[in-house]
């Protein structure tokens, strides 16, 4: 049996435009060919959840593992206490117990993306394990001496902060030393020879490679992926707005699915390449289909289904799809659990009622911002629905049995105009 091509993953990454910066692609290709290699990417617990901007890194880790190489997923219990400098202001330092709790949450979020069995089994590591025992003297003598301040000052975020009124603290300034030290420790402990990260981390990635060269005389590799951006050029992230959290308690699976389903057509080619595991021919077909028949949203639907299943599981995807169908009359709203129904109705026009509700015609008019005569005409013409059941009587009113989960009435006019009435508790 022939051995697998350990460099094929590099060609795939290049086709997907997933390498924005790299140290030496030729040398990396040689290392992959002689592999398998051990590689890593880090995730700092600066919030209780990762968001969809992190998907690029998680999926890159997965692609390299599927290509035969061994991943180390680092959760920054130490660096999360410091925070990578933002270009605008100092980060708020979080309590150590809070960060420790976030470390565990993020560790659990990472696990479904990787395989922890077999010859190239993944390992999750925490940089607090080697950073906490390090004394200040050891940090300065053994690590700090290998860093040149002029190069550290050139980092984009640091330079921006130096020009601001806020300046930058030594704490955040030292972050790149800590991240570089992580690469050195993983190189020594696990034989790690490649670090990946977002393009905004490029200075930190190269700092680690340079530290290994200076401290151990070894040559290692790094590449950075492009940041996931929207059609208007802005990036995703918790501080920029528009983040989709991977934690279902922070962003519901329904909202997660709907985000991808409503993706701008212009973003679909790039998103499919970066975020989908479909083969190249299928991706190219979806790109063509989206361009030629945008109203069908073939690319968006494929992406929404794949990512929702990957992040939240196939059972949750099935619930989301059932909710989407039921909301517009193709399923039973009564069969949806309360969290899924709540998420599905979150963006619909709504009204609240207390006590005995008025007739359905009045609720339909108020919730959909139409006149009562229009609401009555919709009933007469058979185009008004309560919980997907046709409203046959202009004077009909909701009964206690009509309230879904004791809270909601779903009103619909025609095929697409949906509104919700919520009963105050």
Q: Specify the CATH number for the domain of residue 390.
A: 3.10.290.10
Domain end marker among 344, 359, 384: 344
Residue 283 sits in the same domain as residue 314: yes
Share of the chain above pLDDT 70, in %: 96
Residue 196 sits in the same domain as residue 112: yes
Interatomic CA distance for residues 400 and 139, integer angstroms:
68
Residue 236 counted as domain residue: no
Q: How confident is the model over 158-168, as a mean pLDDT?
A: 82
221-225 vs 192-198, strand pairing mode: parallel
Q: How far is CA 307 from CA 20, 271, 366, 412, in A?
A: 23, 11, 37, 29
Q: How confident is the model over 18-28, as a mean pLDDT?
A: 96
Between residues 326 and 182, the one the model is more confident about: 182
Q: How confident is the model over 81-102, as a mean pLDDT?
A: 86
Q: How confident is the model over 130-159, as a mean pLDDT?
A: 89
Domain end marker among 209, 225, 241: 225
What CATH number does the domain containing 283 carry? 1.10.240.10
pLDDT class of 4 with cuts at 50, 70, 90 = low
What is the dihedral angle through the alpha carbons of 365, 370, 372, 375, rounded to the nearest 10 degrees?
-70
pLDDT of residue 1: 35
CB-CB neighbours of 95 under 10 Å: 9
Share of the chain above pLDDT 90, in %: 63
Q: How confident is the model over 118-139, as a mean pLDDT?
A: 95
Residue 237 counted as domain residue: no
Q: How confident is the model over 15-40, as a mean pLDDT?
A: 96
| 289 CB-contact burial (10 Å; exposed 0-12 / middle 13-18 / buried 19+) | middle
408-413 vs 384-386, strand pairing mode: antiparallel
b/e code 329-343 from CB counts within 10 Å (16+ = b): bebebeebeeebbbb
pLDDT class of 238 with cuts at 50, 70, 90 = very low
pLDDT class of 156 with cuts at 50, 70, 90 = confident
pLDDT of residue 287: 97
Is cis: bond before 36, omega within 30 of 0? yes
Q: How confident is the model over 348-352, as a mean pLDDT?
A: 86
Residue 186 sits in the same domain as residue 286: no
Angle among Cα 92, 96, 101 to the nearest 5 degrees reads: 105
Interatomic CA distance for residues 345 and 410, integer angstroms:
8
Q: What is the pLDDT of residues 359-403, one digit of tens each?
A: 899 998 998 889 999 999 999 999 999 988 999 888 888 898 999
Residue 243 counted as domain residue: no
Mean pLDDT of the chain: 90
The residue among 116, 122, 125 whose CA lies nearest residue 69 is: 122
pLDDT of residue 345: 86
- Quote the tokens at residue 286: 């979806």
pLDDT of 240 higher than 50: no
pLDDT of 222 higher than 80: yes
Interatomic CA distance for residues 349 and 8, integer angstroms:
50
pLDDT of residue 309: 96
Residue 275 sits in the same domain as residue 215: no
Q: How many residues are there in the chain?
A: 425
pLDDT of 153 higher than 90: no
Mean pLDDT lowest for which of 3-7, 188-192, 267-271, 370-374? Answer: 3-7
pLDDT of residue 346: 82
Q: What is the pLDDT of residues 260-292, one digit of tens each?
A: 998 999 999 999 999 999 999 999 999 999 999
Domain end marker among 294, 318, 344: 344
pLDDT class of 206 with cuts at 50, 70, 90 = very high
Count of domains in the chain? Answer: 3
Q: How confident is the model over 98-118, as a mean pLDDT?
A: 95
Residue 248 counted as domain residue: no
Q: What is the pLDDT of residues 289-346, one digit of tens each?
A: 999 999 999 999 999 999 999 999 999 999 999 888 888 877 788 888 888 888 888 8
CB-CB neighbours of 2 under 10 Å: 4
Between residues 91 and 15, the one the model is more confident about: 15
pLDDT of 3 higher than 70: no
Residue 36 sits in the same domain as residue 124: yes
Residue 218 sits in the same domain as residue 151: yes
Residue 340 sits in the same domain as residue 400: no
3-state helix/strand/coil string of the chain:
CCCCCCCHHHHHHHHCCCCCEECCHHHHHHHHHCCCCEEEEEECCCCCCCEHHHHHHHHHHHHHHHCCCEEEEEECCCHHHCCCCCCCCCCCCCCHHHHHHHHHHHHHHHHHHCCCCCCCCCEEEECHHHHCCCCHHHHHHHHHHHCCHHHHHCCHHHHHHHCCCCCCCHHHHCHHHHHHHHHHHHHHHHCEEEEEEEHHHHHHHHHHHHHHHHHHCCCCEEEEECCCECCCCCECCCCCCCCCECCCCCCCHHHHHHHHHCCCHHHHHHHHHHHCCCCHHHHHHHHHHHHHCHHHCHHHHHHHHHHHHHHHCHHHHHHHHHHHHHHCCCCCHHHCCHHHHHHHCCCCCEEEECCCCCCHHHHHHHHHCCCHHHHHHHHHCCCEEECCEECCCCCCCCCHHHCECCCEEEEEECCCEEEEEEECC
Interatomic CA distance for residues 258 and 320, integer angstroms:
9
Which residue range forms the structural domain that includes residue 272? Answer: 253-344
CB-CB neighbours of 105 under 10 Å: 17
Residue 98 sits in the same domain as residue 23: yes
The residue among 231, 308, 303 whose CA lies nearest residue 272 is: 303
pLDDT of residue 239: 42
Q: How confident is the model over 399-421, as a mean pLDDT?
A: 89
Residue 232 counted as domain residue: no
Q: How confident is the model over 135-158, as a mean pLDDT?
A: 88
- Quote the tokens at residue 333: 């709203």
Residue 221 counted as domain residue: yes
């Amino acid at each position: 049996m022939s051995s697998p091509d350990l460099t094929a993953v590099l060609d795939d990454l290049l086709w997907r435009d997933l390498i924005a910066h790299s140290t030496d692609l030729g040398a990396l290709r040689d290392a992959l060919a002689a592999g398998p290699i051990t590689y890593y990417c880090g995730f700092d617990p600066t919030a209780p959840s990762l968001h969809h901007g992190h998907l690029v890194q998680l999926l890159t880790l997965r692609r390299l593992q599927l290509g035969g190489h061994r991943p180390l997923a680092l959760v920054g219990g130490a660096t999360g206490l410091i925070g990578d400098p933002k270009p605008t202001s100092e980060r708020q330092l979080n309590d150590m117990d809070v960060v420790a709790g976030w470390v565990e949450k993020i560790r659990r979020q990472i696990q479904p993306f990787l395989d922890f069995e077999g010859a190239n089994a993944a390992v999750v590591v925490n940089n607090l394990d080697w950073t906490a025992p390090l004394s200040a003297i050891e940090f300065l003598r053994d690590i700090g001496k290998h860093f040149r301040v002029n190069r550290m000052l050139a980092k984009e975020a640091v330079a921006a902060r130096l020009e601001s009124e806020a300046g930058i603290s030594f704490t955040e300034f030292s972050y790149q030393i800590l991240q570089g030290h992580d690469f050195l420790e993983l190189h020594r402990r696990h034989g790690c020879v490649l670090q990946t990260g977002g393009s905004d981390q490029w200075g930190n990635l190269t700092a680690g490679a340079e530290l290994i060269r200076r401290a151990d005389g070894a040559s290692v590799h790094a590449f950075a992926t492009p940041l996931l951006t929207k059609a208007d050029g802005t990036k995703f992230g918790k501080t920029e707005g528009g983040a989709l959290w991977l934690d279902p308690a922070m962003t519901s699976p329904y909202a997660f699915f709907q985000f991808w389903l409503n993706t701008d057509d212009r973003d679909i080619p790039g998103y499919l390449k970066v975020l989908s595991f479909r083969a190249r021919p299928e991706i190219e077909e979806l790109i063509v289909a989206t361009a030629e028949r945008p109203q069908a949203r073939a690319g968006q639907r494929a992406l929404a289904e794949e990512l929702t299943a990957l992040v939240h599981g196939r059972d949750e995807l099935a619930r989301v799809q059932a909710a989407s169908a039921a909301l517009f009359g193709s399923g039973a709203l009564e069969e949806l659990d309360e969290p899924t129904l709540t998420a599905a109705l979150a963006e619909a026009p709504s009204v609240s009622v207390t006590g005995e509700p008025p007739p359905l015609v009045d609720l339909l008019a108020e919730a959909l911002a139409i006149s009562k005569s229009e609401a009555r005409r919709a009933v007469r013409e058979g185009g008004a629905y309560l919980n997907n059941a046709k409203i046959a009587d202009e004077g009909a009113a909701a009964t206690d049995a009509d309230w879904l989960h004791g809270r909601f009435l779903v009103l619909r006019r025609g095929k697409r105009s949906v509104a919700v009435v919520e009963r105050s508790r």
